[in-house]
Every structure is written in structure tokens, then in C-alpha cells.
Amino acid sequence: MSDNSTNHLRTTNIHPLFWSDAEAAPFENCINCKMNLPESNTPYLIEKAVRGFDGEKVTATIFEYAVCVNCAQEMNLKLSKGSRERIESFFKERVNFQQRFNQLRDQDDEEWLRRCLVHHEEVNEEGECQLYALCQGDQMLYQEFPYMIRTEALDEMMDLLSAETLRQLDDFKDDLIDGPSEFKELLKKGGPKVLL
């Protein structure tokens, strides 16, 4: 990096870890509005739930999707105000994104992802976690993203959500998935647990 400004946004081609495993290629469409993501200027999030992850490769993918920031925002607004505030303060108390960026800015992807954003621990072979990246076009953006959150931390976050919010997330997931029923079942069981 030649630019030393603190918030310099680093970008690289999207790491294959954040490609669609189902397609063995980068994600093409927003799961909700179906917008073509690589051709659009709209940033988008990629979320994957995986089992066994060492910072480089996963043992198995449980679910995966890409969502444009507009639809992600729409999902976020479905959370109750109380739930949103509790999740926000959870991150404020537990994660120093600025410090993290300063530490990781020149590191490779493995270092960004190997340890849990919240618990700073690795995932064991049997462990599950979710991987998150923010992309635009064919580029991955590095600032707060990318990160990994272990299931243990996601469970803590789930406990912060109101019953109303959990029900709305379930409804939204049901609306979202018009694909193969197998995928629908996975989503119902597995997540997305928390939409960030």
C-alpha cells in the first residue's frame, strides 16, 4: 500500500473463498432483488456459513448468498429498534474496527479471517462460523469487512434479538428463498442468523 491514510480502502479481486460454491464462480445476483452484482456499482455483502475453517479453506459450506446493500438495509430495518440498538452496542463494546484495520491493513486474507471478530479464537475442525465480505463489482473491499464470526459469538448475538425480530427474520427468510427446497430447508435450519 503506498497510501498511508488511516482509512485507505484496500481492494482486491474477490477471493475464491467468497465465490459461490454452488456455482464455482463469483456470485452474480442479489438473493432478494436479483440485481446483477458484478455489473452494478452497488456494493454487496457475501455471507457464508461454513463448517471447519482454517483461514484459507472450509470443510463444508452450510449456506451462502450475496445481497446488495439496499436489500441488506431493508432486512436490517425489519429488526426491532431495541434489537438493532443491542446489536450495535454489542459491536461497539466488543470490536474495535479501527484498531483491527490498522493491524490487518497490510496482511493477507488469512489473517483477516482466521480468528473470530468477537472472540479472537480460531475455528476447530468441527466448529462452525460465518464469513462476511463486502464487495463492489469484481472487487472485495477491506475496511470493517472481511471478517469471520464463530457460531459461539453468533449465538450470543441471537440472544440480543427480540422474539418479534426473530419471527420477522424467519418470515423474511421464507420470502427470500424461492430456490430449491433443499436450500430452503438449510436456510430455515442454519441461518442467516444475524444480518449484519
Q: How far is the CB of 129 from Zn ion (least distance, A)?
A: 24
CB of 137 within 8 A of CB of 58? no
46: contact with Zn ion by CB under 5 A: no
| Residue 102 CB neighbours (<10 A) | 12
Query: Which residue spans within 73-138 are E strands per DSSP?
Result: 128-136
SS3 state of residue 73: helix
68: contact with Zn ion by CB under 5 A: yes
- Contact window for Zn ion (CB under 5 A) among 16-24, 33-41, 76-84, 122-130: 33-41
Interface residue with Zn ion among 18, 32, 53, 154 (CB under 5 A) is 32
- Amino acid, res. 14: I
Grid cell for residue 68: 446488495
CB of 111 within 8 A of CB of 126? no
Cβ proximity to Zn ion: between 44 and 53 the closer is: 44
Q: How far is the CB of 175 from Zn ion (least distance, A)?
A: 13
Q: How far is the CB of 35 from Zn ion (least distance, A)?
A: 5
Where do contacts with Zn ion occur on this chain (CB under 5 A)?
30, 32-33, 68, 71
